[in-house]
């Protein structure tokens, strides 16, 4: 890895853990502190060589490849920024771990990776805590405001297998979320098939809307509990589109409580006074084959966070609950339990 302040050509040999990785992604991980714009510039100019040949950013690496890196100065981080980053590093509850992957219980309010104004995310924290680990990569992503189950691959082969599974969301991996929504949801079980289209605001911020020009998106919602103003739902993803649950529900008139992108902003502000200071969306469970042993099955569960359980107890105290599934109390009771895999 290049060192800060050095001005000489560097050669790096690709290890087994980077087999099949794109050249640009490899460099981004290797050259932490170098702006991405600079990395892509030296790639386009041919200053980066793989086995003495020019390669573009999408080139797939093989174990044993020799990469020539031109002189690059890594940005020295101001002490105040480094200290702030240190504050963002948190000990993340581990739900499950084996030789191929680990499952984390991500708290709400923490980004899964650095960028977009966030200097340190889940994956950076994990790498900091495990400097001996040769490979740690996110298998999928959760929005910063969403809590719950997050998988991290410990081997390239496991990462590729998980990506294949998630590409066929609903066919191989059963991913389920819990959410509190505005309004009285009436159907015990409802299929929602609405295409989703990604676009950018004038500010450059990413958004998604229901649009016939978008990609197919399929969610199955199940009613778990209902009060006078709100409902608790389970959402099962049959496809894995960006912001799928949030946009489907907002389009139907049942925005997720606390959602600052697609929600009811006036209601969100009022609910903060009632104790709900986060988005009420939680990645609850995942049932999937083991990525390196298809005969094994992983059934992972992240307990509902205490903050959401407390708000549900608040609703029971101030409103009449007129519907609840039989296992609701058991579901809420898991918040106080140690994280686990079933």
Residue 98 lies in a domain: no
Residue 320 lies in a domain: yes
Residues 37 and 183 grouped into a single domain: no
Catalytic residues: 143
Report pLDDT for 120.
67
Residues 62 and 176 grouped into a single domain: no
Residue 76 lies in a domain: no
Would you give per-residue pLDDT tens digits along the chain (342 residues)? 444 344 578 888 887 767 788 898 888 888 877 888 888 888 988 999 999 999 988 899 988 889 999 887 655 444 444 444 444 455 688 999 999 999 999 999 888 876 544 556 888 888 888 888 889 999 999 999 999 999 999 999 999 999 988 886 667 889 999 999 999 999 999 999 999 999 998 877 889 999 999 999 999 999 999 999 999 999 999 998 999 999 999 999 999 999 999 999 999 999 999 999 999 999 999 999 999 998 899 999 999 999 999 999 999 999 999 999 987 877 776 554 444 444
Residues 6+ apart with CB under 8 A from 110: 88, 90, 121, 122, 144
pTM across the whole model: 0.74
Residue 185 lies in a domain: yes
Report pLDDT for 249.
98
Range of the structural domain that residue 30 is part of: 10-69
Which of 41, 69, 97 is the last residue in one of the domains? Answer: 69
Residues 181 and 329 grouped into a single domain: yes
Report pLDDT for 11.
85
* Separation CA 292–CA 300 (nearest Å): 16
* CATH for 64: 3.10.290.10
Which of 25, 45, 69 is the last residue in one of the domains? Answer: 69
Residues 65 and 174 grouped into a single domain: no
Tell me the backbone φ, ψ of residue 192, rounded to 5 degrees: -125, 120
Residue 306 lies in a domain: yes
In this structure, which long-range contacts are made by residues 93-100, counting pairs with CB atoms below 8 Å and at least 24 apart in sequence? 93/339, 94/339, 95/149, 95/300, 95/301, 95/302, 95/339, 95/340, 95/341, 96/298, 96/300, 96/341, 99/154, 99/155, 99/292, 100/153, 100/154, 100/155, 100/157, 100/158, 100/290, 100/291, 100/292
Residues 335 and 198 grouped into a single domain: yes
State how far the alpha carbon of 100 is from the alpha carbons of 12, 25, 61, 154, 166, in Å: 25, 21, 21, 5, 16
Q: How many domains does the chain have?
A: 2
* CATH for 309: 3.30.2350.10
């Amino acid at each position: 890895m290049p060192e800060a302040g050095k001005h000489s050509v560097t050669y790096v040999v690709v290890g087994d853990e980077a087999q099949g990785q794109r050249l640009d992604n490899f460099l981004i991980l290797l050259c932490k502190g170098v702006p991405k714009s600079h990395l892509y510039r030296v790639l386009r100019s041919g200053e980066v060589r793989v086995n003495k040949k020019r390669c573009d950013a999408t080139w797939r690496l093989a174990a044993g490849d020799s990469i020539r890196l031109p002189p690059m100065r890594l940005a020295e981080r101001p002490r105040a920024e480094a200290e702030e980053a240190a504050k963002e590093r948190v000990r993340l509850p581990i739900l499950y771990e084996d030789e191929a992957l680990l499952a984390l219980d991500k708290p709400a309010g923490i980004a899964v990776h650095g960028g977009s104004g966030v200097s340190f995310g889940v994956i950076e924290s994990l790498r900091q805590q495990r400097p001996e680990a040769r490979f740690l990569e996110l298998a999928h992503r959760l929005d910063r405001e969403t809590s719950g189950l997050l998988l991290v691959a410990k081997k390239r082969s496991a990462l590729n297998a998980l990506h294949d599974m998630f590409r066929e969301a609903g066919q191989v991996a059963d991913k389920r979320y819990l959410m509190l929504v505005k309004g009285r949801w009436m159907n015990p079980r409802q299929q929602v098939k609405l295409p989703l289209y990604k676009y950018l605001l004038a500010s450059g911020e990413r958004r998604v809307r229901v649009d016939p020009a978008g990609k197919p998106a399929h969610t199955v919602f199940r009613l778990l509990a209902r009060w006078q103003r709100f409902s608790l739902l389970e959402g099962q993803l049959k496809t894995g589109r960006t912001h799928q649950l949030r946009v489907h529900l907002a389009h139907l008139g049942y925005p997720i409580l606390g959602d600052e992108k697609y929600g009811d902003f006036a209601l969100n502000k009022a609910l903060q006074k009632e104790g709900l200071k986060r988005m009420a969306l939680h990645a609850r469970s995942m049932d999937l084959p083991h990525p390196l042993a298809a005969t094994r099955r992983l059934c992972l569960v992240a307990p509902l966070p205490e903050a959401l359980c407390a708000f549900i107890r608040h609703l029971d105290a101030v409103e009449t609950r007129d519907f609840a599934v039989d296992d609701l109390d058991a579901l809420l009771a898991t918040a106080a339990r140690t994280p686990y895999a079933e």
